[in-house]
């Protein structure tokens, strides 16, 4: 029996299904076959772009999205994909131009598209623009718990703690089962010293809701403290098991870095309650890892924008390049009230006097890499 005739939509649908099953190689083969017959099918080029993105083949993804945009300059999915690829290449202006074009075409009421763009910006730490697109989503869809939660995540990253609390609570008002928002809110409350409120929310999560061990550790410690539970209490068993599962799934490099971060300057392990590990969660949210596939489905684990830097004194900082420098500035008492630029310039000048190596102070990443080259700190990740 001969192979039935397939339309370009048939190829697109097959590839979409494979993408949703994370079978990216097979999806690409289907798309390649479809493009061999329908070289001008925009949807197939868009699908190819997202499949390449899922495999982190950014040059190929860019080519696919550019071909799609060349065939249809106003195709919103092609523009969104191209913008995401441009972010990977550091072309923020080009990416934002793509996203602005989508708004000009009248898609600001498309919740999925606004969240997709916001997540792409969030992953690359373009936080002001990320919050803007999340707010567009929540304005058009005020009853969306996911949109409200995303505004909360971005607000917290932008140091708007009041806004973060408001939007995370709003998300939970809209959907009491939104585990990610509840865990994030619990961690935020814990860091504020509001332990009873943190426990209130953590107790309303299930072990399977957690993809990071920090909140589980905090829940166990709070339960032991408040309810006077022993380490082997049956109530703690499922949480300890989930914690063990997360540790066993972690890569060896991640475990080594965790040990380094937990080590104080004196070689002693810090109290985990004193670790500023919450920052590592901020760009590793499950929701922020997901990327819509061709036609809006599928997911993909994105690269994290979190870095780890250790000083010669053994102090480890975690966060984006800018967040790390800001933490270093705040720890230097005399610069607590100064600007980031002033701190970098003064520290770079002092470092040059000490080492004879010129340290750039134009931006946080160059400053940290230059300091590492001068032997003043180590970049761990």
Closest Cα partner for 85 from 58, 121, 105?
58
DSSP 191-228: HTT-HHHHHHHHTTS-GGG-SSHHHHHHHHHHHHHHH-
pLDDT in tens, 257-292: 444 444 444 444 444 333 333 433 443 466 665 555
Classify 5 as helix, strand or coil: coil
331: confidence class by pLDDT, cuts 50, 70, 90? confident
Query: Domain 1-125: which CATH class?
Result: mainly alpha
Calpha distance 205→203 (Å, rounded): 6
Same fold for the pair 1-125 and 144-249: yes
Q: Is the pLDDT of residue 74 over 80?
A: yes
Q: Where are the domains of the chain?
A: 1-125, 144-249, 250-282+306-381
Q: Can you read off the two tokens belonging to residue 332? A: 């230097």
pLDDT in tens, 349-381: 888 888 888 898 888 988 999 898 888 998 877
305: confidence class by pLDDT, cuts 50, 70, 90? low
Give the per-residue pLDDT at 80.
97
253: confidence class by pLDDT, cuts 50, 70, 90? low
pLDDT in tens, 3-26: 557 899 999 999 999 999 989 999
Q: Is the pLDDT of residue 163 over 90?
A: yes
pTM of the complete model? 0.69
Alpha helices, H only, the chain: 8-20, 24-37, 42-54, 58-71, 76-88, 92-104, 111-123, 127-140, 145-157, 161-174, 179-191, 195-202, 213-227, 237-249, 252-261, 278-282, 286-289, 321-331, 340-355, 364-373
pLDDT in tens, 80-118: 999 999 999 999 999 999 999 999 999 999 999 999 999
CATH number for 144-249: choose from 1.20.120.140, 1.25.40.10, 1.20.58.1610, 3.40.50.300: 1.25.40.10
Give me the mean pLDDT over the 61-83 stretch. Answer: 97
């Amino acid at each position: 029996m001969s192979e039935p005739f397939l339309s370009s939509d048939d190829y697109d649908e097959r590839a979409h299904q494979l993408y949703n099953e994370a079978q990216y190689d097979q999806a690409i083969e289907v798309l390649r076959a479809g493009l061999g017959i329908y070289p001008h099918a925009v949807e197939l080029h868009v699908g190819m772009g997202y499949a390449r993105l899922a495999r982190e083949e950014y040059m190929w993804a860019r080519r696919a999205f550019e071909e799609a945009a060349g065939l249809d300059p106003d195709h919103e999915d092609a523009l969104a994909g191209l913008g995401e690829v441009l972010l990977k290449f550091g072309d923020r202006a080009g990416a934002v131009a793509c996203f602005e074009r989508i708004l000009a075409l009248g898609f600001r009421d498309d919740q999925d598209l606004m969240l997709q763009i916001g997540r792409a910006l969030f992953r690359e730490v373009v936080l002001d623009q990320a919050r803007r697109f999340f707010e567009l989503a929540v304005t058009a869809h005020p009853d969306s718990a996911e949109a409200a939660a995303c505004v909360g995540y971005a607000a917290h990253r932008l140091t708007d703690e009041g806004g973060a609390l408001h939007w995370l609570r709003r998300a939970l008002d809209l959907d009491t089962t939104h585990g990610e928002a509840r865990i994030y809110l619990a961690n935020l409350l814990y860091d504020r010293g509001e332990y009873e409120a943190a426990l209130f929310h953590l107790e309303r999560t299930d072990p399977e809701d957690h993809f990071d061990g920090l909140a589980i550790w905090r829940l166990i410690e709070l339960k032991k403290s408040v309810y006077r539970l022993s380490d082997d209490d049956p109530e703690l068993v499922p949480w300890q098991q989930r914690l063990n599962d997360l540790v066993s799934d972690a890569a060896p490099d991640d475990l080594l870095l965790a040990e380094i971060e937990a080590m104080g300057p004196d070689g002693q392990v810090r109290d985990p309650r004193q670790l500023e590990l919450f920052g590592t969660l901020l760009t590793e949210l499950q929701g922020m890892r997901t990327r819509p596939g061709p036609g809006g489905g599928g997911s993909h684990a994105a690269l994290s924008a979190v870095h780890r830097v250790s000083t010669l004194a053994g102090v480890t900082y975690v966060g984006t390049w800018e967040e790390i420098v800001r933490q270093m500035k705040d720890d230097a008492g005399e610069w607590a009230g100064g600007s980031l630029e002033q701190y970098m310039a003064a520290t770079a000048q002092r470092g040059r006097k000490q080492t004879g190596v010129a340290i750039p102070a134009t931006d946080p990443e160059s400053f940290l890499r230059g300091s590492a080259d001068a032997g003043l700190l180590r970049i761990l990740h």
